């Protein structure tokens, strides 16, 4: 059975050019980058080449890039590292209700250790109000953390406006840009951020590799100790194949991003119109314009999203009901609830995320089968059948 993959927000396939580039670093160029001999220096050169590529992708300097194991570690390092670097002073962090769990759960842990956290609300389309950020500031605020674009509903936040507020207050500003780096133009100076998290497997690179951008002069204590790697900011022997793969993925993004975004935006809008026109009692979740080019998140009333997903999967169609990190949970999405969506509708939300190899024919196939699946499931549940209310 051929499969249609529409879960690119969860992970992307590794680009064939990335696979080809990294294979020699498992065998021929396998050295430890800290070694002084030739094989080690080959590995070191690969790491620094990748660092340069990634820096150019986000408009940073090479020495502002710290390689990590992924976006979760980068988020943890940004939050925990900022608090640790503040020493004994009281600390306060401002974040939003729709952040990834890597930020929200880290904030919860920091709260247990004495850090005060303010979690800001969002509006019905998932946007945070910059004025709410300003009002939440206190003399103890050390960090504002607002994601660039939401991984579930695709809403893009007004980062530049929030950054201006942070600069005026002398507060560091972090963004989780896992969903935007490689999909949208991201320039750390234009955004005004001091810290930025990204992940390789969201932009056609390998899993297990990511990075934290740390603006020069920003004090962030390391999470890991035991070596001087990454300018003493992240101990541990570098994952050379992973880093090399992230670098090649960054080069591909520099080359292809604009064309990919144009194609995906057209498919996205066609997909959204097709669902809303063919299935009653459906709504678009997230902002209609300020959204990721590949994100289609639809609320389907009177049916459970998981049931739709299982039926789609039987037809070889891969989608999700929200964050991949929450898969298997029947709880309503915290993102959807934060937008004011009722729990029963939140549990009926579907996320289709398209990517580099999604075709119009695949979109048409989903649009053809989805209405019948929804109708069948609604008919099976008289309580949830809108025609029997």
- To 5 degrees, how large is the angle CA 29–CA 30–CA 34? 105
Q: What is the mean pLDDT of residues 338-363?
A: 95
pLDDT exceeds 80 at position 93: yes
- How does pLDDT run across 241-261, given as a tens digit for each residue? 999 999 999 999 999 999 999
Q: Do residues 67 and 213 make contact, with C-beta atoms less than 8 angstroms apart?
A: no
Give per-residue pLDDT as tens, 302-314: 999 999 999 999 9
Q: What is the pTM of this model?
A: 0.95
pLDDT for 321: 85
Residues 148 and 186: beta-carbon distance below 8 Å = yes
Higher-confidence position of 284 and 326? 284
Catalytic residue among 107, 318, 325, 341: 325
pLDDT at 380: 87
Q: Each residue of 277-321: pLDDT tens digit?
A: 999 999 999 999 999 999 999 999 999 999 999 999 999 999 998
Q: What is the pLDDT of residue 311?
A: 97
pLDDT in tens, 146-197: 999 999 999 999 999 999 999 999 999 999 999 999 999 999 999 999 999 9
What is the per-residue pLDDT for 384?
61
User: Using 50, 70 and 90 to split pLDDT, how confident is the model at 327?
Assistant: very low
Is 325 part of the annotated catalytic residue set?
yes
pLDDT of residue 331: 76
Q: Average the pLDDT over 198-213 and give the result.
A: 98
Name the strand (E) or helix (H) holding 199: strand 195-199
Question: Mean pLDDT across the stretch 67-81?
Answer: 98
Residues 184/212, Cβ–Cβ less than 8 Å: no
Q: pLDDT-based confidence at 2, cuts 50/70/90?
A: confident
What whole-number distance in Å separates Cα of residue 125 and Cα of residue 158? 13
d(CA 74, CA 76) in angstroms, rounded, equals: 5
The end-to-end CA distance of the chain, in Å, is 39
Mean of all residue pLDDT scores within the chain: 94
Name residue, tokens 């729709």.
98
If phi > 0 it is left, if psi is from -120 to 50 it is alpha, else beta; for residue 192 that is left
Question: Any idea which residue has 């050169």 for tokens?
Answer: 45
Mean pLDDT of 328-339: 82
Per residue in 221-234, pLDDT tens? 999 999 999 999 99
For residue 326, pLDDT beyond 50: no
Residue with tokens 């389907």: 300
**pLDDT given for residue 322 in this prediction:** 60
CB 174 within 8 A of CB 196: yes
- The answer, yes or no, to whether residue 323 has pLDDT greater than 50, is no
């Amino acid at each position: 059975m051929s499969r249609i993959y529409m879960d690119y927000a969860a992970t992307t396939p590794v680009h064939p050019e990335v696979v080809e580039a990294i294979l020699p670093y498992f065998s021929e160029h396998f050295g430890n980058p800290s070694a002084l001999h030739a094989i080690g220096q080959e590995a070191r050169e690969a790491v620094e080449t990748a660092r340069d590529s990634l820096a150019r992708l986000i408009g940073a300097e090479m020495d502002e890039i710290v390689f990590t194991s992924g976006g979760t570690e980068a988020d943890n390092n940004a939050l925990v590292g900022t608090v640790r670097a503040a020493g004994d002073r009281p600390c306060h962090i401002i974040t939003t209700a729709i952040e990834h769990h890597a930020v929200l759960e880290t904030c919860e842990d920091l709260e247990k250790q004495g850090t005060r956290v303010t979690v800001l609300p969002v509006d019905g389309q998932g946007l945070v109000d910059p004025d709410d950020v300003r009002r939440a500031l206190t003399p103890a605020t050390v960090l504002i953390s607002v994601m660039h674009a939401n991984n579930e509903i695709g809403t893009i936040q007004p980062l530049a406006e929030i950054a201006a507020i942070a600069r005026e207050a002398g507060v560091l500003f972090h963004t989780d840009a896992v969903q935007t780096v490689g999909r949208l133009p991201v320039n750390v100076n234009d955004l005004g951020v001091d810290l930025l998290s990204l992940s390789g497997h969201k932009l056609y690179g390998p899993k297990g590799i990511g990075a934290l951008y740390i603006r020069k002069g920003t004090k962030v204590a390391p999470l890991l100790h035991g070596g001087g790697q990454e300018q003493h900011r992240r101990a541990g022997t570098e994952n050379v194949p992973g880093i090399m793969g992230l670098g090649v993925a960054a080069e591909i993004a520099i080359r292809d991003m604009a064309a990919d975004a144009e194609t995906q935006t057209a498919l996205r809008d066609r997909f959204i119109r097709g669902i809303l026109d063919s299935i009653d009692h459906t709504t678009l979740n997230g902002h209609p314009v300020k959204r990721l080019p590949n994100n289609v998140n639809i609320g389907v009333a009177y049916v459970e999203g998981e049931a739709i997903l299982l039926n789609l999967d039987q037809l070889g169609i891969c989608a999700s009901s929200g964050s991949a990190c929450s898969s298997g949970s029947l709880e309503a999405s915290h993102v959807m609830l934060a937008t004011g969506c009722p729990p029963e509708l939140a549990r009926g939300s579907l996320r289709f995320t398209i990517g580099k190899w999604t075709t119009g024919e695949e979109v048409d196939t989903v649009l053809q089968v989805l209405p019948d699946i929804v109708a069948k499931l609604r008919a099976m549940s008289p309580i949830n059948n809108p025609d029997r209310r």
